[in-house]
Amino acid sequence: MKRARIVRIILVVLISFIIFGPLSSLVIWSVAEKWYWPHLLPQQVGLFYWGKVFQGRMMQALQVGVLIACVVTVLSLIMTVPLGYVLARFRVPFKAAVLLIFLLPQAFPQLPVFANATVYLYRANLGGKVPGVILIHMVGALVYAVWTMTAVFKSIPASLEEAAINLGASRIRTFWNISLPLAMPGIIASALLIFLYSLDEFTGTLLVGSPFVLTLPVFMYNASQGYELPVASITALLLMVPGIILLLVLERYLKAEYLSSFGRI
Protein backbone atom coordinates (compact mmCIF):
# COMPACT_ATOMS: atom_id res chain seq x y z
CA MET A 1 0.00 0.00 0.00
CA LYS A 2 2.81 2.39 0.91
CA ARG A 3 4.70 1.61 -2.28
CA ALA A 4 1.56 2.08 -4.40
CA ARG A 5 0.95 5.45 -2.75
CA ILE A 6 4.50 6.57 -3.50
CA VAL A 7 4.16 5.48 -7.14
CA ARG A 8 0.86 7.36 -7.39
CA ILE A 9 2.44 10.54 -5.98
CA ILE A 10 5.36 10.26 -8.41
CA LEU A 11 2.96 9.85 -11.35
CA VAL A 12 0.90 12.87 -10.23
CA VAL A 13 4.05 15.00 -9.92
CA LEU A 14 5.31 13.81 -13.32
CA ILE A 15 1.99 14.47 -15.07
CA SER A 16 1.70 17.88 -13.38
CA PHE A 17 5.19 18.77 -14.58
CA ILE A 18 4.38 17.70 -18.15
CA ILE A 19 1.16 19.74 -18.17
CA PHE A 20 2.17 22.82 -16.20
CA GLY A 21 5.87 22.97 -17.08
CA PRO A 22 5.36 24.64 -20.49
CA LEU A 23 2.64 26.87 -19.00
CA SER A 24 4.98 28.08 -16.27
CA SER A 25 7.49 29.05 -18.95
CA LEU A 26 4.81 31.14 -20.70
CA VAL A 27 3.91 32.85 -17.41
CA ILE A 28 7.55 33.69 -16.66
CA TRP A 29 8.17 35.02 -20.18
CA SER A 30 4.99 37.13 -20.01
CA VAL A 31 6.42 39.20 -17.12
CA ALA A 32 10.10 39.09 -18.12
CA GLU A 33 11.31 42.55 -19.11
CA LYS A 34 14.98 41.57 -19.08
CA TRP A 35 16.21 37.96 -19.27
CA TYR A 36 19.60 37.02 -20.66
CA TRP A 37 21.67 33.87 -20.66
CA PRO A 38 22.99 32.34 -18.41
CA HIS A 39 20.54 33.58 -15.76
CA LEU A 40 17.93 30.97 -14.79
CA LEU A 41 15.30 33.61 -13.92
CA PRO A 42 14.55 37.05 -15.37
CA GLN A 43 16.71 39.89 -14.11
CA GLN A 44 13.78 42.29 -14.36
CA VAL A 45 10.05 41.57 -14.21
CA GLY A 46 7.03 43.77 -14.81
CA LEU A 47 3.91 44.32 -16.90
CA PHE A 48 5.52 46.40 -19.66
CA TYR A 49 4.80 43.85 -22.40
CA TRP A 50 1.21 43.34 -21.19
CA GLY A 51 0.59 47.01 -21.80
CA LYS A 52 2.35 46.79 -25.15
CA VAL A 53 0.15 43.89 -26.22
CA PHE A 54 -3.12 45.61 -25.30
CA GLN A 55 -2.03 48.88 -26.91
CA GLY A 56 -1.02 47.13 -30.14
CA ARG A 57 -2.97 45.10 -32.70
CA MET A 58 -3.77 42.21 -30.36
CA MET A 59 -7.33 43.36 -29.62
CA GLN A 60 -7.98 43.79 -33.35
CA ALA A 61 -6.65 40.26 -33.95
CA LEU A 62 -8.91 38.93 -31.19
CA GLN A 63 -12.00 40.65 -32.61
CA VAL A 64 -11.30 39.40 -36.14
CA GLY A 65 -10.65 35.85 -34.90
CA VAL A 66 -13.86 35.74 -32.84
CA LEU A 67 -15.88 37.16 -35.76
CA ILE A 68 -14.49 34.56 -38.16
CA ALA A 69 -15.08 31.74 -35.63
CA CYS A 70 -18.71 32.84 -35.08
CA VAL A 71 -19.44 32.99 -38.83
CA VAL A 72 -17.76 29.62 -39.45
CA THR A 73 -19.77 28.06 -36.61
CA VAL A 74 -23.13 29.39 -37.83
CA LEU A 75 -22.51 28.45 -41.49
CA SER A 76 -21.25 24.97 -40.57
CA LEU A 77 -24.30 24.22 -38.40
CA ILE A 78 -26.72 25.53 -41.04
CA MET A 79 -25.18 23.11 -43.53
CA THR A 80 -24.60 20.08 -41.32
CA VAL A 81 -27.62 19.90 -38.98
CA PRO A 82 -30.00 18.86 -41.80
CA LEU A 83 -27.26 16.82 -43.50
CA GLY A 84 -26.48 14.96 -40.27
CA TYR A 85 -30.17 14.22 -39.76
CA VAL A 86 -30.51 12.82 -43.28
CA LEU A 87 -27.39 10.66 -42.94
CA ALA A 88 -28.56 9.35 -39.55
CA ARG A 89 -32.18 8.61 -40.44
CA PHE A 90 -32.34 7.64 -44.11
CA ARG A 91 -30.67 5.09 -46.32
CA VAL A 92 -28.48 7.42 -48.34
CA PRO A 93 -26.71 5.90 -51.37
CA PHE A 94 -22.94 5.89 -50.91
CA LYS A 95 -23.36 7.14 -47.33
CA ALA A 96 -19.88 5.93 -46.37
CA ALA A 97 -18.39 7.75 -49.36
CA VAL A 98 -20.15 10.99 -48.36
CA LEU A 99 -18.76 10.80 -44.83
CA LEU A 100 -15.34 9.89 -46.22
CA ILE A 101 -15.32 12.97 -48.45
CA PHE A 102 -15.75 15.21 -45.42
CA LEU A 103 -12.99 13.29 -43.63
CA LEU A 104 -10.44 13.56 -46.46
CA PRO A 105 -9.08 17.03 -45.53
CA GLN A 106 -7.99 15.58 -42.17
CA ALA A 107 -6.59 12.41 -43.74
CA PHE A 108 -3.71 14.31 -45.36
CA PRO A 109 -1.22 16.86 -43.99
CA GLN A 110 -2.95 20.23 -43.69
CA LEU A 111 -0.21 22.25 -45.36
CA PRO A 112 -0.54 20.79 -48.92
CA VAL A 113 -4.37 20.76 -48.62
CA PHE A 114 -4.51 24.40 -47.57
CA ALA A 115 -1.80 25.43 -50.05
CA ASN A 116 -3.78 23.90 -52.90
CA ALA A 117 -7.00 25.56 -51.69
CA THR A 118 -5.16 28.88 -51.40
CA VAL A 119 -4.37 28.85 -55.12
CA TYR A 120 -8.06 28.60 -56.02
CA LEU A 121 -9.10 31.20 -53.44
CA TYR A 122 -6.62 33.72 -54.85
CA ARG A 123 -7.92 32.99 -58.36
CA ALA A 124 -11.41 33.78 -57.03
CA ASN A 125 -10.08 37.07 -55.59
CA LEU A 126 -10.64 35.86 -52.01
CA GLY A 127 -7.00 35.85 -50.95
CA GLY A 128 -6.12 38.24 -48.14
CA LYS A 129 -9.79 38.70 -47.27
CA VAL A 130 -12.00 37.57 -44.39
CA PRO A 131 -14.43 35.58 -46.64
CA GLY A 132 -11.47 33.57 -47.97
CA VAL A 133 -10.31 32.78 -44.44
CA ILE A 134 -13.86 31.74 -43.49
CA LEU A 135 -13.98 29.31 -46.44
CA ILE A 136 -10.60 27.77 -45.59
CA HIS A 137 -11.68 27.34 -41.96
CA MET A 138 -14.83 25.55 -43.09
CA VAL A 139 -12.69 22.92 -44.84
CA GLY A 140 -11.70 21.59 -41.44
CA ALA A 141 -14.79 22.68 -39.49
CA LEU A 142 -17.16 20.64 -41.66
CA VAL A 143 -15.32 17.47 -40.66
CA TYR A 144 -16.18 18.01 -36.99
CA ALA A 145 -19.68 19.24 -37.79
CA VAL A 146 -20.81 16.45 -40.14
CA TRP A 147 -19.52 13.56 -38.08
CA THR A 148 -20.68 15.04 -34.77
CA MET A 149 -24.18 15.92 -35.98
CA THR A 150 -24.64 12.50 -37.61
CA ALA A 151 -23.64 10.83 -34.33
CA VAL A 152 -25.97 13.11 -32.35
CA PHE A 153 -29.06 12.28 -34.44
CA LYS A 154 -28.04 8.60 -34.52
CA SER A 155 -28.11 8.55 -30.70
CA ILE A 156 -31.75 9.78 -30.60
CA PRO A 157 -34.18 6.81 -30.61
CA ALA A 158 -36.01 6.61 -33.94
CA SER A 159 -39.05 5.24 -32.09
CA LEU A 160 -39.83 8.74 -30.78
CA GLU A 161 -40.11 10.09 -34.31
CA GLU A 162 -42.09 7.07 -35.46
CA ALA A 163 -44.60 7.62 -32.64
CA ALA A 164 -45.07 11.25 -33.66
CA ILE A 165 -45.54 10.30 -37.32
CA ASN A 166 -48.09 7.62 -36.35
CA LEU A 167 -50.05 10.33 -34.50
CA GLY A 168 -50.26 12.39 -37.69
CA ALA A 169 -47.23 14.68 -37.51
CA SER A 170 -45.35 15.36 -40.72
CA ARG A 171 -41.69 14.52 -41.13
CA ILE A 172 -40.71 18.22 -41.00
CA ARG A 173 -42.84 18.89 -37.89
CA THR A 174 -41.37 15.81 -36.23
CA PHE A 175 -37.89 17.12 -36.94
CA TRP A 176 -38.61 20.60 -35.53
CA ASN A 177 -40.63 19.53 -32.48
CA ILE A 178 -38.93 16.25 -31.49
CA SER A 179 -35.53 15.63 -33.07
CA LEU A 180 -34.13 19.15 -32.99
CA PRO A 181 -34.88 19.86 -29.29
CA LEU A 182 -33.45 16.47 -28.28
CA ALA A 183 -30.35 17.15 -30.38
CA MET A 184 -29.78 20.63 -28.93
CA PRO A 185 -27.07 19.55 -26.40
CA GLY A 186 -25.22 17.86 -29.25
CA ILE A 187 -25.62 20.91 -31.48
CA ILE A 188 -24.16 23.09 -28.73
CA ALA A 189 -21.25 20.66 -28.30
CA SER A 190 -20.64 20.66 -32.05
CA ALA A 191 -20.78 24.46 -32.13
CA LEU A 192 -18.16 24.68 -29.37
CA LEU A 193 -15.85 22.26 -31.20
CA ILE A 194 -16.16 24.25 -34.44
CA PHE A 195 -15.65 27.58 -32.67
CA LEU A 196 -12.51 26.36 -30.89
CA TYR A 197 -11.13 24.89 -34.12
CA SER A 198 -11.67 28.13 -36.03
CA LEU A 199 -10.35 30.34 -33.21
CA ASP A 200 -7.10 28.32 -33.00
CA GLU A 201 -6.66 27.65 -36.74
CA PHE A 202 -3.30 28.92 -37.98
CA THR A 203 -2.04 27.32 -41.20
CA GLY A 204 -4.98 28.19 -43.45
CA THR A 205 -5.31 31.66 -41.93
CA LEU A 206 -1.64 32.43 -42.59
CA LEU A 207 -1.70 31.13 -46.17
CA VAL A 208 -5.00 32.70 -47.24
CA GLY A 209 -5.33 35.77 -45.03
CA SER A 210 -1.76 37.04 -44.82
CA PRO A 211 -0.87 39.87 -44.64
CA PHE A 212 -4.27 41.58 -44.34
CA VAL A 213 -6.27 39.22 -42.06
CA LEU A 214 -4.79 39.02 -38.57
CA THR A 215 -6.00 36.57 -35.92
CA LEU A 216 -4.48 35.70 -32.55
CA PRO A 217 -2.54 32.61 -33.76
CA VAL A 218 -1.05 34.65 -36.64
CA PHE A 219 -0.32 37.54 -34.26
CA MET A 220 1.48 35.11 -31.93
CA TYR A 221 3.44 33.67 -34.88
CA ASN A 222 4.54 37.12 -36.04
CA ALA A 223 5.66 38.00 -32.51
CA SER A 224 7.69 34.80 -32.16
CA GLN A 225 9.26 35.32 -35.59
CA GLY A 226 10.39 38.74 -34.42
CA TYR A 227 11.86 37.13 -31.26
CA GLU A 228 9.34 39.03 -29.10
CA LEU A 229 8.95 36.08 -26.76
CA PRO A 230 7.13 38.04 -24.02
CA VAL A 231 4.52 39.24 -26.53
CA ALA A 232 4.14 35.72 -27.98
CA SER A 233 3.80 34.23 -24.47
CA ILE A 234 1.13 36.75 -23.46
CA THR A 235 -0.79 36.05 -26.66
CA ALA A 236 -0.58 32.30 -26.04
CA LEU A 237 -1.94 32.73 -22.50
CA LEU A 238 -4.80 34.91 -23.76
CA LEU A 239 -5.57 32.38 -26.50
CA MET A 240 -5.84 29.63 -23.89
CA VAL A 241 -8.51 31.40 -21.83
CA PRO A 242 -11.50 30.95 -24.22
CA GLY A 243 -10.31 27.41 -24.95
CA ILE A 244 -10.33 26.40 -21.28
CA ILE A 245 -13.72 28.04 -20.65
CA LEU A 246 -15.36 26.48 -23.71
CA LEU A 247 -13.89 23.05 -22.98
CA LEU A 248 -15.43 23.16 -19.50
CA VAL A 249 -18.76 24.03 -21.11
CA LEU A 250 -18.24 21.29 -23.71
CA GLU A 251 -17.82 18.71 -20.94
CA ARG A 252 -21.38 19.50 -19.86
CA TYR A 253 -22.96 19.04 -23.29
CA LEU A 254 -20.85 16.29 -24.90
CA LYS A 255 -22.64 13.12 -23.82
CA ALA A 256 -21.22 9.60 -23.88
CA GLU A 257 -23.97 8.36 -26.20
CA TYR A 258 -22.80 10.80 -28.88
CA LEU A 259 -19.30 9.35 -28.77
CA SER A 260 -20.59 5.76 -28.82
CA SER A 261 -22.65 6.57 -31.91
CA PHE A 262 -19.53 7.32 -33.96
CA GLY A 263 -18.96 3.60 -34.36
CA ARG A 264 -22.51 3.07 -35.69
CA ILE A 265 -22.55 5.85 -38.32
How much is the pLDDT for 25?
79
253 in the same domain as 195 = yes
| 179 part of a folded domain | yes
Residues 163, 232 within the same domain: yes
Residues 124 and 150 in one domain: yes
- Does one domain contain both 30 and 106? no
Task: Give DSSP secondary structure letters for the chain.
Answer: -HHHHHHHHHHHHHHHHHHHHHHHHHHHHHHEEE--TT-SS-SEE-SHHHHHHHHTTHHHHHHHHHHHHHHHHHHHHHHHHHHHHHHHHS--TTHHHHHHHHHHHHHS-HHHHHHHHHHHHHHTT-TTSHHHHHHHHHHHHHHHHHHHHHHHHHHS-HHHHHHHHHTT--HHHHIIIIIHHHHHHHHHHHHHHHHHHHHH--HHIIIIITTT---HHHHHHHHHHTT-HHHHHHHHHHHHHHHHHHHHHHHHH--HHHHHGGGG-
Predicted pLDDT of residue 137 = 92
Q: Tell me, yes or no, whether 243 and 129 share the same domain.
A: yes
52 belongs to a structural domain:
no
How confident is the prediction along the chain (265 residues), in pLDDT tens digits per residue? Answer: 567 777 777 787 787 777 777 777 788 888 888 877 777 778 788 888 888 777 778 888 889 999 999 999 999 999 999 988 888 888 877 777 777 777 777 667 777 878 888 888 888 898 889 999 999 999 888 888 888 888 888 888 888 888 888 888 888 888 888 888 888 888 888 898 899 899 989 988 998 988 889 898 988 888 877 778 888 888 888 888 887 887 777 777 665 555 545 445 5
Domain co-membership, 230 together with 140: yes
Domain count across the chain: 2
pLDDT computed for residue 263 by the predictor: 47
Q: Please report, for the domain that includes residue 80, its CATH number.
A: 1.10.3720.10
Q: Note whether 109 and 229 are same-domain residues.
A: yes
Expressed as residue numbers, the domain containing 207 is 57-264
pLDDT at site 155: 83
